[in-house]
């Protein structure tokens, strides 16, 4: 006589919800792709207005200004003409300064990653942030990120490094703009926003999340 089959024990599916929650995407991929696409398009449109570097560094076009008002007039015209080149110089000064201080660069990257993963590109339907068995609301996460940002900027070398790099870059731009003769420049009519406005236009279209949500 064949032995009876053992009874099938019921299996609880309580852990299914937790697994689904854990497998939820940590970041909104479509929103991130849209942001990066807009950033790339804005950078390409802005770089299309870049003036030739040989024109920027033409040694025959440099002369000492006659007065402070003459220097200010030159600077104003050169800023309108070499706007994208000057922004590239500022970005290069900031990049060189950060690359020469790896610890500050890592802190800044970690801060940007925290903003991206915990707030900017979080899926709208993701679970709330839970840390040490305590859920945090959207306002609490935002306040925490702002507080961490202030601590990183003002209590570490990141803030002073950024300010010093931008100061050096701005000084180079001002000296060049004051000594570069603008008479041979063909100042075309540009939009009020100009190339700089196009470079930052991606910020206005950045996808906004309804609130940070992540399970830690």
pLDDT digits (tens, 9 = 90+) for 103-144: 999 999 999 988 888 877 777 666 777 888 888 877 888 899
Alpha-helical (H) ranges within the chain are 14-22, 29-47, 53-56, 68-81, 83-99, 102-115, 138-155, 157-179, 194-199, 201-204
Long-range contact list for 153-157, CB < 8 A, 24+ apart?
A: 156/104, 156/107, 157/101, 157/103, 157/104
> What is the predicted pLDDT for the residue at 101?
92
Tens digits of residue pLDDT in 30-57: 766 776 677 677 767 766 668 888 888 8
Distance of CA 58 to the CA centre of its chain: 32
Alpha-helical (H) ranges within 82-155 are 83-99, 102-115, 138-155
- Predicted TM-score (pTM) of the model is 0.63
d(CA 163, CA 104) in angstroms, rounded, equals 13
More confident residue, 82 or 29: 82
pLDDT-derived band at 26, boundaries 50, 70, 90 = low
């Amino acid at each position: 006589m064949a032995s009876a089959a053992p009874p099938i024990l019921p299996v609880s599916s309580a852990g299914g919800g937790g697994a689904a929650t854990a497998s939820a995407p940590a970041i909104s991929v479509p929103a991130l792709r849209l942001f990066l696409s807009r950033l790339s398009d804005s950078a390409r449109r802005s770089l299309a207005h870049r003036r030739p570097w040989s024109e920027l560094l033409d040694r025959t076009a440099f002369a000492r200004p006659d007065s402070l008002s003459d220097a200010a007039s030159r600077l104003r015209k050169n800023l309108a003409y070499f706007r994208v080149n000057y922004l590239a110089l500022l970005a290069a000064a900031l990049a060189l300064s950060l690359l020469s201080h790896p610890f500050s660069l890592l802190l800044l990257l970690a801060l940007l990653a925290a903003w991206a993963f915990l707030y900017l590109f979080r899926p709208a339907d993701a679970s709330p942030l839970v840390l040490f068995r305590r859920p945090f609301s959207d306002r609490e996460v935002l306040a925490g990120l702002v507080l961490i940002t202030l601590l990183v900027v003002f209590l570490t070398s990141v803030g002073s490094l950024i300010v010093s790099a931008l100061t050096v870059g701005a000084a180079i731009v001002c000296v060049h703009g004051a000594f570069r003769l603008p008479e041979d420049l063909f100042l075309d009519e540009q939009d009020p926003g100009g190339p700089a406005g196009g470079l930052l236009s991606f910020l206005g279209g950045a996808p906004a999340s309804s609130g940070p949500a992540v399970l830690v």
